[in-house]
């Protein structure tokens, strides 16, 4: 049985709440990613996604110098690195999310698990479960 540590992406790019949304967008563009965990004083305090930038900033006319804290999501869902891939995939499907931060037993950020990680895990049941949960029309 595979754990999340086996399939997650460990090279996590981070931003801080005081950084600008422009900096966040540039980091997303250069790393070809759609979300960034937000850290403050060695703690995970939020997530900012490309969707947040579009809907919470651009759509409301906020400028590129707007702090990340003004558009980030603060209700953070996460999983543990020792959890089973299938269990996490089911949880992600129930939450309707395509990615989750991964923490260790001390709740330190150690990675990100995304739909693509689950899809490539070799666990077709987990991949199908997650896909069914997040690939729903709005």
For the chain, 138 residues long, the average pLDDT of each consecutive 10-residue run is 93 96 98 93 91 96 97 94 93 89 91 89 69 62
Q: Domain-by-domain residue ranges, the chain?
A: 4-134
Distances (CA, A) of 84 to 5, 48, 60, 105: 9, 26, 40, 14
Q: How far apart are CA 94 and CA 109, in angstroms?
A: 22
Element (H, E) at 93: helix 85-95
Domain 4-134 has CATH 3.10.580.10: yes
pLDDT for residue 79: 96
Distances (CA, A) of 47 to 1, 3, 76: 29, 23, 7
Kindly report the pTM of this predicted structure.
0.82
Can you read off the two tokens belonging to residue 83? Answer: 């959890």
pLDDT for residue 133: 65
pLDDT for residue 126: 65
pLDDT for residue 15: 98
pLDDT for residue 39: 93
Can you read off the two tokens belonging to residue 37? Answer: 């965990």
């Amino acid at each position: 049985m595979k754990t999340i540590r086996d399939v997650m992406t460990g090279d996590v790019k981070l931003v801080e709440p005081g950084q600008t949304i422009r900096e966040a967008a540039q980091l997303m563009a250069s790393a070809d990613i759609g979300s960034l965990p937000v850290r403050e004083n060695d703690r995970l305090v939020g997530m900012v996604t490309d969707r947040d930038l579009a809907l919470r900033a651009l759509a409301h006319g906020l400028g590129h110098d707007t702090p990340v804290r003004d558009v980030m999501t603060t209700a953070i869902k996460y999983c543990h690195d020792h959890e089973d891939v299938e269990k996490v995939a089911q949880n992600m499907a129930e939450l309707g999310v395509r990615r989750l931060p991964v923490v260790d037993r001390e709740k330190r950020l150690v990675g990100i698990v995304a739909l693509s990680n689950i899809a490539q895990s070799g666990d077709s049941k987990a991949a199908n479960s997650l896909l069914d949960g997040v690939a729903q029309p709005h």
